[in-house]
């Protein structure tokens, strides 16, 4: 029987951090459907990641610890991917955290929450790129290896679950451009920036606030996880001469 590395080596490999979440699951499914062996990166949700692995189309998928706030852990993760697959062609930085705090409630946005949002949403994305850079540089995909950062329209309109979240996504957009310049020509770096996505987390928020966001969007609804996932796959497989760009999937929200 072929070893895992031999069996998977013919398939391009995509790692999705935060893949056990609603948006991460949709991205993992679309990448699997596009012919990628998908690494389902998780932090604490090992069981959910393993369950997702069993349901993906195609072959070569695996659940793997991807602790984006632990650089040593990410180095070990990269080594495990190298040993298992012999390659990594795509990194999707989908891991992220937030909590709803009204923008006018400055006391509610305490230092610990502010720091943890930046630690995961910004530093974590950078640390994942740093860990996987040697593998991404060797990718034979058309256009080279690809990093897709999952951003948000909150970076542009400064409206979202809280002020720190909006600021973290603006920082992620800026970092996307800096990394695109720094890692060219072997690695392309893009961001996909959805409007409010109708995930389970968003469904748990205040219904009136959700309705208000939909009403302010020219297309009059929230984004679907599948629509964001399709944009990620397009960035990887179709936009091979694109780097440093922020791809909006927002229903025209800045026009509202």
Instruction: Return the pLDDT at 201.
Output: 77
pLDDT digits (tens, 9 = 90+) for 12-29: 999 999 999 999 999 999
**pLDDT over threshold 80, residue 150:** yes
pLDDT digits (tens, 9 = 90+) for 177-228: 999 999 999 999 999 999 989 888 788 877 888 888 889 999 999 999 999 9
| Cα distances (angstroms) measured from residue 157 to each of 38, 47, 196, 255 | 33, 36, 12, 10
Over the chain, what is the mean pLDDT? Answer: 94
Instruction: Return the pLDDT at 196.
Output: 87
Instruction: Return the pLDDT at 212.
Output: 87
Q: Please give the positions annotated as active site.
A: 165
Question: Minimal CA–CA distance to 97: which of 111, 109, 113, 112?
Answer: 113
**pLDDT over threshold 60, residue 7:** no
For the chain, domain boundaries: 4-250
Alpha-helical segments (H) within 86-123 = 111-118
Residue partners of 19: CB distance under 8 A and separation at least 6: 25, 27, 28, 38, 39, 40, 41, 42, 49, 52, 94
Structure tokens, 222: 């929230």
Instruction: Return the pLDDT at 204.
Output: 80
pLDDT digits (tens, 9 = 90+) for 163-175: 999 999 999 999 9
Q: How confident is the model at residue 9 (pLDDT cuts 50, 70, 90)?
A: low
Please give the span between the terminal C-alpha atoms of the chain, in angstroms, as a whole number: 57
Neighbouring-strand partners of residue 197: 223
**pLDDT over threshold 80, residue 95:** yes
pTM score: 0.94
Question: How big is the CA angle at 208 (ends 207 and 211), to the nearest 5 degrees?
Answer: 85
Residue partners of 141: CB distance under 8 A and separation at least 6: 12, 89, 90, 236
How far is CA 61 from its chain centroid?
A: 17
Q: How confident is the model at residue 94 (pLDDT cuts 50, 70, 90)?
A: very high
Query: Over pLDDT 70: what percentage of the chain?
Result: 96
Question: Minimal CA–CA distance to 160: which of 118, 219, 101, 119?
Answer: 101
**pLDDT over threshold 50, residue 1:** no
Question: Minimal CA–CA distance to 248: which of 140, 125, 166, 154?
Answer: 154
Question: Minimal CA–CA distance to 96: which of 171, 190, 174?
Answer: 171
Bigger pLDDT: 3 or 109?
109
Specify the CATH architecture of the domain 4-250: 3-Layer(aba) Sandwich (3.40)
Bigger pLDDT: 71 or 253?
71
């Amino acid at each position: 029987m072929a070893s895992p590395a031999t069996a998977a080596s013919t398939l391009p490999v995509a790692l999705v951090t935060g893949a056990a979440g609603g948006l991460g699951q949709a991205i993992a499914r679309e990448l699997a459907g596009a012919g990628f062996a998908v690494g389902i990166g998780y932090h604490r949700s090992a069981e959910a990641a393993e369950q997702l692995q069993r349901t993906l189309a195609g072959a070569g998928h695996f659940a793997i610890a991807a602790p984006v706030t632990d650089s040593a852990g990410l180095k070990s993760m990269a080594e495990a991917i190298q040993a298992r697959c012999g390659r990594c062609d795509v990194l999707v930085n989908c891991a992220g955290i937030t909590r709803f705090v009204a923008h006018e409630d400055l006391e509610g946005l305490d230092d610990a929450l502010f720091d943890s949002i930046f630690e995961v949403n910004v530093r974590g994305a950078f640390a994942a790129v740093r860990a996987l850079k040697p593998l991404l540089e060797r990718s034979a995909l058309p256009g080279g290896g690809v990093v897709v950062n999952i951003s948000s329209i909150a970076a542009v309109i400064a409206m979202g679950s809280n002020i720190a979240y909006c600021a973290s996504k603006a920082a992620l957009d800026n970092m996307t451009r800096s990394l695109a310049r720094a890692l060219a020509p072997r690695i392309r770096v893009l961001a996909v920036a959805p409007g409010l996505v109708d995930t389970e987390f968003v469904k748990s928020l205040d219904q009136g606030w959700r309705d208000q966001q939909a009403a302010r969007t020219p297309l009059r609804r929230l984004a679907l996880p599948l629509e964001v996932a399709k944009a990620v796959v397009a960035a990887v497989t179709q936009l091979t001469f694109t780097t440093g760009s922020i791809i909006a999937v927002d229903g025209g929200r800045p026009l509202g």
